[in-house]
Amino acid sequence: MIEAVLIFNLHGTPRLSKFYRHYSEQKQQQIIRQVYQIVAKRGEAVCNFIEGGDTILGDKSLKIIYRHYATLYIVFCVDSSESELAILDLIQVFVEILDKCFRNVCELDLIFHVDKVHYVLNEIIIGGLVIENSMSSILQSLEEQKKLEKNEINKVPVKLDYYEIMTILNTRCHN
């Protein structure tokens, strides 16, 4: 099971954090700091997974699996039932999908489009379990979502005055 997905920049600033096990806000911040400290000091020539997450997450069977892309670290904290290579492939799929969504994803995309990044992640992982790893299926789902959003935008009148807005809100509240 995937316990957490973390993305942070080279300075340790979190750009995305998704925990699939309940931790207090304080514990989440501590985990992010500790994972960053461990991952940031590793060299480029070492492997991309670290056994024994007991010092961070309190569970010896946990592993930290990460990839370094330009100015970002993408980190998955997983239990022993997950394959390291499968998670590395999943990280690659996640990044390639983000690349297609944002035309070469960068740190600013994660900052300004956090909702879309979470949506992509939720298409891949739900409740800590991988539900889809096919890029074509995920991209198709994203395209369908984009069409739905476009249809919703087209339904909204372009120019509304205060009275029209209040009428719409009152109608929605009473239905």
Q: What is the pLDDT, as a whole number, of residue 51? A: 85
Please indicate whether residue 168 or residue 92 has the higher confidence score (pLDDT). 92
Q: What average pLDDT score do residues 143-150 get?
A: 87
Measured in Å, how far apart are the chain's first and last C-alpha atoms?
41
Q: CA geometry: angle at 152 spanning 148 and 158, to 5°?
A: 150
The whole-chain average pLDDT of the chain stands at 88
Tell me how far apart the 2 most distant CA atoms of the chain are, in Å. Answer: 64
Residues near 97 by Cβ (< 8 Å), separated by ≥ 6?
Answer: 120, 124, 135, 138, 139, 142
Q: What average pLDDT score do residues 57-74 get?
A: 86
Does 157 score more than 70 pLDDT? Answer: no
Inter-residue long-range contacts of 144-150, CB under 8 Å, 24+ positions, other chains counted: 145/119
What the block records as the tokens of 156 is: 């909204």
Answer whether 66's CB lies under 8 Å from 72's CB. no
* Least confident segment among 46-50, 97-101, 160-164, 166-170: 160-164
Residues near 24 by Cβ (< 8 Å), separated by ≥ 6?
Answer: none
Percentage of the chain modeled with pLDDT above 90: 66
pLDDT band at 54 (very low <50, low <70, confident <90, very high): low
Residue with tokens 């339904």: 155
